[in-house]
Amino acid sequence: MNQSWDQQYKNHWEERYKDHEFVYGKDANMFFKEWLPKFEPGSILMPADGEGRNGVFAARLGWKVTSFDLSEAGQAKAWQLAKENGVVLEYIVGDLEQIQFEKATFDAIGLVYAHFSAVKKSIFHKKLDDCLKPGGLIIFEAFSKSHLTLNKRNPKVGGPKDMDMLYSEAEIMADFENYEILVLEEKEILLNEGKYHNGKGSVIRFVGRKAAIKI
């Protein structure tokens, strides 16, 4: 029997995170490290948090962290990293389709290389928007559609091979249309994150503040 796309995707991450190394390193993403300290700690949701490097960084700054990912292996390594750093984070294993969060629960969301299937990514962004409080923040970095060319030249830089899983500024503006844009740019950067993000990559970077409720 052929496996579904979702099951294949889960299996991919389970195999990757079974590696004894932290495959994207233990340090948080540089853009996330730059922006998160600018804001007062509160509650933060970390989708696709993998081995926990970004969630653990947030917890070290005093944020109350809820992470989730498809991978049990990722969860185990995230808890290991949290213990090494003397912090605690809640980590849920599951798909955003099945996980339910109350509306307006979180003060911030960290979306760091959270690539979803083409048919789901806008739906998932809307669902994440629903669970962010008015005035809440999103810090986002992921590969742009231009990255596909760079990936072909240097597979070690990583990223999806499917153009539709990559991002454009226009998609971000459409998915998060009710946000004050603090940063929105496409940029080529040099990645040095473990053994799977190495070399020149093209990314979309976005920091946005959700509009407050209109009275």
Contact 167, 204 (CB under 8 A): yes
Which pLDDT score, from 0 to 100, does residue 31 have? 98
Which pLDDT score, from 0 to 100, does residue 98 have? 84
Superfamily (CATH H level) for 5-210: Vaccinia Virus protein VP39 (3.40.50.150)
State how far the Cα of 68 lies from the Cα of 75, in Å rounded to an integer. 8
Q: Which residue has the higher pLDDT, 6 or 37?
A: 37
When pLDDT is cut at 50, 70 and 90, the band that residue 1 belongs to is very low
DSSP string over 24-82:
T-SSPPHHHHHHGGGS---EEEEET-TTSHHHHHHHHTT-EEEEEES-HHHHHHHHHHH
Determine which of 51-55, 79-83, 118-122, 145-149 has the lowest per-residue pLDDT on average: 118-122
Which pLDDT score, from 0 to 100, does residue 5 have? 73
206 pLDDT higher than 60: yes
- Give the chain's mean pLDDT: 94
pLDDT-above-70 percentage for the chain: 97
Which pLDDT score, from 0 to 100, does residue 61 have? 98
DSSP string over 78-123:
HHHHHHHHT---EEEES-TTT----TT-EEEEEEES----TTTHHH
54 pLDDT higher than 90: yes
Which pLDDT score, from 0 to 100, does residue 205 have? 98
20 pLDDT higher than 80: yes
- β-pairing, 106-112 vs 90-93, is unpaired
151 pLDDT higher than 60: yes
When pLDDT is cut at 50, 70 and 90, the band that residue 3 belongs to is low
215 pLDDT higher than 60: no
Mean pLDDT of 57-76: 97
Residue 151, burial from CB neighbour count under 10 angstroms (0-12, 13-18, 19+)? buried
When pLDDT is cut at 50, 70 and 90, the band that residue 97 belongs to is confident
